[in-house]
Amino acid sequence: MSEMTGRVFVDVDWLEKRPEVVLIHVGTTMGGGDPVAAFEARHLDGARFASLDDDLADLPDGVRGRHPLPTPERFMDVLGRIGVSDDSVIVAYDERNGALAARLVWMLRILDFDARLLDVDPDDIPERSGAGSMCVTEHLSGSGPELAARSWPAAALATADEVAAHIDAGGVVIDSREALRYRGGVEPIDPVAGHVPGAINRFFGDNLVDGAFRSIDELRDRFSVVAGDSDAIVYCGSGVTACHNALAIEQAGLGRPRVYVGSWSGWSADPGRPIA
């Protein structure tokens, strides 16, 4: 097993020993506020900026969900702007214990880039002022290596029809949202509450304990249900936090599950889909 395959989550000590790493801070407009301003105010030394909404997703599109994948060409343009090359080692983080950055790391890994998710306490991200934050302008408007487009691999993705077929065949499909949303007790974002019938619940936030990622053994126990299913599928609300679970499963040595990017936002937008 290569290091890239076996080591998905890394800590600050690992990062500090590798000055050549391209470090990326992922921000979002979800929850309100200006993610660029937030980055300017607080980020790790040497970090570059990527937007979940503008860089890691296409516009919301019905059954494609709230955060469909961008075209491969646009994603390569984003990576070039940030300064990623074909042989870069990339580490991503955010201020939400990896909830957003996992999407970028998953996207990169399925395209065979060497990418990892940083285990960092948001309270340890230093505040910046003045010249300490000027680098953001370069990363938002600059240009870097020209990368050839790499098509999204079908084997890493699942469609709604494939989700339904996998469940019908007795396969494992994991809903990564909070238990209350999974049960349909509340739905703060999408117009319909509930979950895909037959899906089981593993809240992505429980990959952490006291703000840090669980050990490999703990993650292996947590996701033991996928051990016998090489085609397991994960989803969430819009294909973002599902990537946190996908990376946790890979970190545990249980293979790489498929991600249903449309997720609940796409499933519930189709009136022909059943809802539990």
DSSP letter at 151? P
List of residues 6+ apart from 254 with CB closer than 8 A? 220, 223, 224, 226, 227
- Among residues 101, 111, 236, 240, the one annotated as catalytic is 236
List of residues 6+ apart from 242 with CB closer than 8 A? 174, 176, 204, 234, 235, 236, 259, 260, 263
d(CA 88, CA 115): 8
Can you name the residues that pair with 201 across neighbouring β-strands? 175
Say if residues 197 and 187 touch (Cβ distance below 8 Å). Answer: no
d(CA 56, CA 108): 10
Three-state DSSP string of 191-219: CCCCCCCCCEECCHHHHEECCEECCHHHH
d(CA 52, CA 239): 11
Q: Catalytic residue at 135?
A: no
Amino acid at 227: A
Which residues are designated catalytic?
Answer: 236
